[in-house]
Structure 1
Amino acid sequence: MDKLSIIIPVYNAERHISKCIHSIVDGHSLDDVEIICIDDGSKDMGGEICESFSDKYEKIHVIHQSNQGVASARNTGVNVAKGEYIAWVDSDDYVEKTWLPDILSVIKNDHPEMVLIDYYKEDKFEKRIISLSFRKKV
């Protein structure tokens, strides 16, 4: 069984989806991972781009559905996910190179109920990256 199911809701994301998926898969083994792209009725080539990744990587699956909104797309992904843990990545986001190995390491070594992850936001107008953290020491 896969340890981690990564769900990516996709709607009109042809400009970003390749960078998103590449950021997850490049340089990493997908042995303990499945990636589920939910094409939520895209009117652009986002779904087809996901299919091209699925043709290349057996651990990437694509589901096409009529447009029902991002919450429905996420729920569709949860319903088919086989992983012990679930992660969501939006189609216009990308992850750091260490994101996947870091998450898998925490999952395998610590067996947590939940993993919280910091994220960064790009300020395209000022060309800077803002660090946002939701970690709280207990």
Structure 2
Amino acid sequence: MVVKASIIIPVYNAEDTVRRAIDSAVNQTTDEPYEVILIDDGSKDESAAILDEYADRYAYVRVIHQDNQGITRTRENGIKISQGEFVFWVDSDDYADAHLLEKTLPLLESGADVVIYGTQYFCEKGGKADNRIRKNISDATYWKQQALNANLSTIWTYGTRRRFWEGESAPSEVARSAADGYMTIRIFGKAESFHVLPDILYYHLVDSPFSIRHTFNGRRYLGNAFLWYYRLKCSEKQYPENTEACAARAMSGYIKAYAMDTVTHDLTEEDRQNIIKALQDLKRYSISGRIRDKLLGWAILHNQLWLCRIYAQHKNSKTQQMNKKMKKLIKD
């Protein structure tokens, strides 16, 4: 039997939400044959047992158990074993609409390389949901530029051909942060036809305090900086009007990465040397930037790291306070 689509769900310590995610995948209304791939990335809670439960119940569900590798490498492993002609992603604390495949597969089978659909951003404890509907534009150049501008950089907002993913591997700098943006640029770069659906077909949880979004360290900022530096180099060849903005974001990210590392110590010496090289290269661009970033940049290049430590300690303190408040809200 030819498998038309693969829904891939990476899972790590998600026992509280993963059933909702899997239920949304196994209960699709399409008549087309599809598979659901669940990858346990070394979970330490009951997630692995939950995944096995679904695999026993549904013939089209496959489970992979592996040592922890992080979500980026887990996704890449999912692509390697997937069999569907088209690929869709669901995060373990999110869920898909039951009509996701029914509404997107006919468009992909008719020739669209990428189908972009609406997303609802919701909070677990209530609050106003935020619907994100993309402009109904089919021009490929427009969407390639949107990816470079970071206006579309999450892989669960679209479905596409599996062959576009084959052979792709995110650089180590973005493996723990910013891989979505990097991969979207790569995938959109291969696509020639885009279709936009106004329907809300994906639901994204925004208030998880355990998300990478609420972690600020050298590694996370390095990923973001590397991605903006990559966008800068791509823009130089295709959209030179974007270069100044990309250069500013890259510089800010590299400076924050180096500064945070003075406290978190999660970068390698090679990472630090690469940051200094990038900052030297970014001097070629006209960057306005914040006074804070310019001061920290001077401190890095002149080895006055005490200034970086003051910034990093202040940033860590603010982050810890924010996460405590968020966890309390969710607990209450």
TM-score (norm 1): 0.89
Q: Distance in 2 between matches of 1:102 and 1:27?
A: 10
Aligned-pair CA distance for 1:23? 1.5
Q: Distance in 2 between matches of 1:13 and 1:71?
A: 16
1:88-130 deviation per Cα after TM superposition (whole angstroms, max 9, x unaligned): 110111112222211223233x232122122110034662210
Q: Give 1 or 2: higher helix fraction.
A: 2
> Which residue number in structure 2 is paired with residue 99 of structure 1?
100
Point out which structure has higher relative CO (alpha carbons under 8 A, 6+ apart): 1
> Which residue number in structure 2 is paired with residue 117 of structure 1?
117
**Matched residue of 1:128: which SS?**
coil
> Which residue number in structure 1 is paired with residue 57 of structure 2?
56
> Which residue number in structure 2 is paired with residue 132 of structure 1?
132
Larger Rg: 2
Q: Which amino acid aligns with 2:24?
A: S
Q: Bigger shift: 97-106 or 65-74?
A: 97-106
Q: Give 1 or 2: higher strand fraction.
A: 1
> Which residue number in structure 2 is paired with residue 35 of structure 1?
36
Q: Distance in 2 between matches of 1:106 and 1:16?
A: 30
Q: Which runs of 5+ in 1 are unaligned?
A: none
Q: Distance in 1 between matches of 2:124 and 2:18?
A: 18
1:67-107 deviation per Cα after TM superposition (whole angstroms, max 9, x unaligned): 01000110000000101111111011111222221122323
Q: Is the 8 A contact 1:41 1:67 kept in 2?
A: yes
Percent identity reads 34
Moved >6 Å (runs of 4+): none
2:23 pairs with 1:22: yes
* Cα RMSD, aligned residues only: 1.8
Q: Is the 8 A contact 2:24 2:95 kept in 1?
A: yes
1:36-82 deviation per Cα after TM superposition (whole angstroms, max 9, x unaligned): 01100000111211111110111100001100100011000000010
**Matched residue of 1:79: which SS?**
helix
Q: Is the 8 A contact 1:24 1:100 kept in 2?
A: no
TM-score (norm 2): 0.39
Q: Is the 8 A contact 1:6 1:88 kept in 2?
A: yes
Aligned-pair CA distance for 1:27? 6.0
Q: Which runs of 5+ in 2 are unaligned?
A: 140-332
Provide the aligned length of Structure 1 versus Structure 2: 137
Q: Distance in 2 between matches of 1:114 and 1:98?
A: 17
Q: Distance in 2 between matches of 1:120 and 1:88?
A: 15
Q: Is the 8 A contact 2:10 2:41 kept in 1?
A: yes
